Structure 1
Amino acid sequence: MTATQRIPDPMTQSHPNGGGRRRHARTPRRTDFTGLISGVCLLLAWLCGVQLSWQYYGADLDVETQVRTARVASHKLVKKEDRDRVLKLNTTDAPPVEGRPAHGEMWGYVYLPDIDRSWSRPIWEGTDENTLNTLGAGHYESTVMPGAVGNFALAGHDTANDFAKTYGIRAGDQIIIRTPEHWYVYEATETRVVTSSDTWVVSDNAPRAQRGITLTTCWPMFTTVDTGQRFITWGRFVGWADVGDGVPEALAASRMTTVERASSRLQTTSKDLNLPVTGVLSLCALAAWLVLDGLAWLAFRRRMIPLWRRRSWSPLTWLIRLQAGPAGGGRALKAVSFLIRLILLALMLAAATFALWRWACPWLASTLPFLDTPHPGAVG
């Protein structure tokens, strides 16, 4: 053997007919770091999305839990209305006038049935910052109480927790007020954007103010600073009834959509479990994922084990590998595997998202100063 000759490597030597084995190339270390960094960045982006979605949507899911707590604490409005019983509205007799509550006291609810029959917010006496941050609507103390001649005016933050839904009110939509003893039904007549200096909008000189209602909130939607603009909704009084007679027709269970019925059942489950809605949804999604993924692992574990033996530094890769499904095979089998694992991944992410909405997002909003809290009083 000459000096220039080399002993062939049996792992790389090609057989004359093209057969033989080849050594698998080792994944470069820079590829490992790229997968790790990209995976971490994507997870951080997802977490930011979870936080933002909680601020502008998720926080609204747990409002009913806080409303129930406030209802019990106020010793008023504890009795839940019977939505299967529709009352007849009194449109001829003069309505009873509610007594003036103490500042900061919760004394009623506001409903927007044409927007969402499952939506309601408590009414507190006063419109100072501390009162509005409690949750719900604040009653302008300079305006009359419902039922009285004059302008009954409410204010609320422009967040999902409070008055964001008032942006969707159209002329003819009902605005319903409930007190411990009475229902007061109003009909929206006009909406308008004004400046914060236009205080006449809550005076008795406002349109339909003879026995009317005014809703005010900031404009535009979800603003984190005061733009000096306000979104105004005016309405006229239609009629009243006693709470013991049932509910106005617009709030009746028979008028609810499928989504509203599902939301109502979810709120009932939340109340029975004494757990906020996001907690209930998290537990349901987690249970579904554990059961389905466990069954998939029992069925496809032999096909999944080789995947777990492949080295990867990407956290996303390992999250995907948690989802079991048939591996390998032809295009049809790969398509089925992709669909199964996609459903499992969606359930796992849903469980994590609802859990973060329930326990992590409120804490972050109250701890980190640069995160705008959708409702200071609703955090925790």
Structure 2
Amino acid sequence: MGVEELITGNERIRRGKKRSARKQRAERPKQGFFRTLIQVLGELLITCGVILLLFVVWELWWTNIEANTAQQQAVSAFAQEFQGPVTPPPADAPPVDFGPPKVMAAPDQASTVFGVVYIPRFGKTYSRPLVEGTAPAQLDTLGLGRYDSTSMPGAVGNFAVAGHRQTHGAVLDAVHTLVPGDKIYVQTNDGYYTYVFRNNQIVMPNRADVLAPVPTQLDAKATERFMTMTSCNPRFGAEERIISYSVLDSWQPASAGPPAEIAAQVAANKKAG
């Protein structure tokens, strides 16, 4: 068989395959408009699902990593500048009355880190920066923000802070686990303030009276030193607010050293810097 015959035969085979393919396409049932629409919608839903999943991963995982790093750096920076011993008084030392708590002036600028909060119920190593302001610029990065309309640590009235529960460091994720009698320690350059937890309360987001000098009692005159922590409720929602109330139990100046329960973490923060 010559080359020309081979070429002719090959062309004949190709034409036959093309005719067969056209015939199969012609015999194939045509896809209706609604079927095509459903397929397109299905693909769009799958794409949206993937995007939503990525957003959830970013919101619940990556924002926590970023915020935790920033908060650890802020705590370390505060600890390096803190003047005072990091060892507690001897266990057999007689109790000392340090008089009324010293109260620092409120920071002039938002985002100023002016203290550290320790809550042993949340873990032995729990220590978070205390920052001025409750805007996203503070809460999304630096942790527990003070409402600027409320008192400073140790003052008569209501020292109130806010913090995220599931994102951006999740500083108050375990707030629902507090039980009456739990200690909350606040460290500033002046010393250490020990608050004792009393109770939680679930309220609607518009309940601004929880920030009153006497929480929830707008017309009452404060005689005690309160600490109020606010966060979203439930844990993965924001329909409500969970409010945690504590009252000052004692205080000690920086020169006296930290309370024994948090001394190890105070020293670790100093060393980390």
Same topology, TM > 0.5: yes
Report the Cα distance in structure 1 between the residues aligned to 2:61 and 2:175, rounded to whole angstroms. Answer: 15
SS of the equivalent of 2:176 reads helix
Task: For 2:102 and 2:85, locate their aligned partners in 1 and report how far apart those are by CA, in whole Å.
Answer: 22
After TM superposition, the structure 1 = structure 2 runs for residues 182-261 of structure 1, keeping only pairs within 5 Å, are 182-206=191-215, 210-223=224-237, 226-227=238-239, 229-253=240-264
SS at match of 1:114: helix
1:171 to 180, 203, 212: 180
Aligned residues of 1:114 and 1:250 also touching (Cα < 8 A):
no
SS in 1 for 2:154: coil
Larger Cα-atom Rg: 2
- Specify the code of the residue in structure 2 equivalent to 1:93: G
In structure 2, which of residues 68, 77, 80 is the aligned counterpart of residue 78 of structure 1?
A: 80
Shift of 1:59: 6.4
Contact 2:71 2:141 in 1 (8 A): no
Gaps of 5+ in 1: 1-44, 257-263, 273-380
Structure-2 separation of matches of 1:82 and 1:59: 34
**Structure 1 Cα separation of the partners of residues 164 and 121 of structure 2:** 20
1:168 and 1:91 map into 2 onto residues whose CA distance is: 32
CA distance in 1, matches of 2:183, 2:263: 13
What SS does structure 1 have at the residue aligned with 2:250?
A: strand
Query: Would you tell me which structure has more strand in proportion to its own residues?
Result: 2
Distance 1:240 1:175, change over 3 A: same
Native 8 Å contact 2:102 2:190 kept in 1: no
Per-residue deviation at 1:166? 1.7
The structure-2 alpha-carbon separation of the partners of 1:97 and 1:72, relative to structure 1 and needing over 3 Å to count, comes to same
Alpha-carbon distance, 1:101 to partner = 0.3
Q: Which amino acid aligns with 1:202?
A: L
SS in 1 for 2:174: helix
1:99 matched residue in structure 2: 105
1:44-193 aligned at under 5 Å gives the runs 52=57, 56=60, 65-71=69-75, 76-79=78-81, 84-86=87-89, 93-102=99-108, 103-159=110-166, 161=169, 162-193=171-202
Q: Secondary structure at the match of 1:214?
A: strand
Q: Give the residue type in structure 1 aligned to 2:70.
A: Q
What is the DSSP-based 3-state SS (H/G/I as helix, E as strand, rest coil) of the residue aligned with 2:122? Answer: coil
Aligned residue pairs total 207
Supply the distance in 2 between the matched residues of 1:171 and 1:241 (Cα, whole angstroms): 22
TM-score (norm 1): 0.48
Question: Using a 3 Å threshold, how does the CA distance of structure 1 residues 132 and 61 change in structure 2: closer, same or farther?
Answer: closer
Within 2, Cα distance between the matches of 1:64 and 1:181? 25
Equivalent residues of 2:182, 2:196 under 8 A apart: yes
**C-alpha distance in 2 between matches for 1:198 and 1:210:** 21
Q: Measure the CA separation in 1 of the matches of 2:255 and 2:66.
A: 28
The residue matched to 1:109 in structure 2 has which SS? Answer: strand
In 2 relative to 1, CA 202–150 (structure 1 residues): closer, same or farther, beyond 3 Å? same
Tell me by how many angstroms 1:130 deviates.
1.8
Indicate the SS of the match to 1:193: strand
Q: What root-mean-square deviation, in Å, do the aligned CA atoms of Structure 1 and Structure 2 show?
A: 3.4
Instruction: Note the C-alpha offset of 1:165.
Output: 2.2
Post-superposition offset of 1:70: 2.7
Query: C-alpha displacement at 1:135, in angstroms?
Result: 2.3
Is this contact kept in 2: 1:86–1:252, CA < 8 A? no
The 3-state SS of whatever aligns with 1:78 is helix
> Once the two structures are superposed, what CA deviation does each residue of 1:189-237 show, in whole Å capped at 9, x if it has no partner?
11111111111111113178721100000001133xx31x100100111
184 and 57 in structure 1: CA distance in 2 versus 1, 3 angstrom threshold: farther
Q: Highest relative contact order (Cα 8 Å, sep 6+), 1 or 2?
A: 2
Report the CA distance shift for 1:58/1:132 in structure 2 as closer, same or farther (over 3 A).
closer
Q: Check conservation: 1:83, 1:247, Cα contact below 8 A.
A: yes
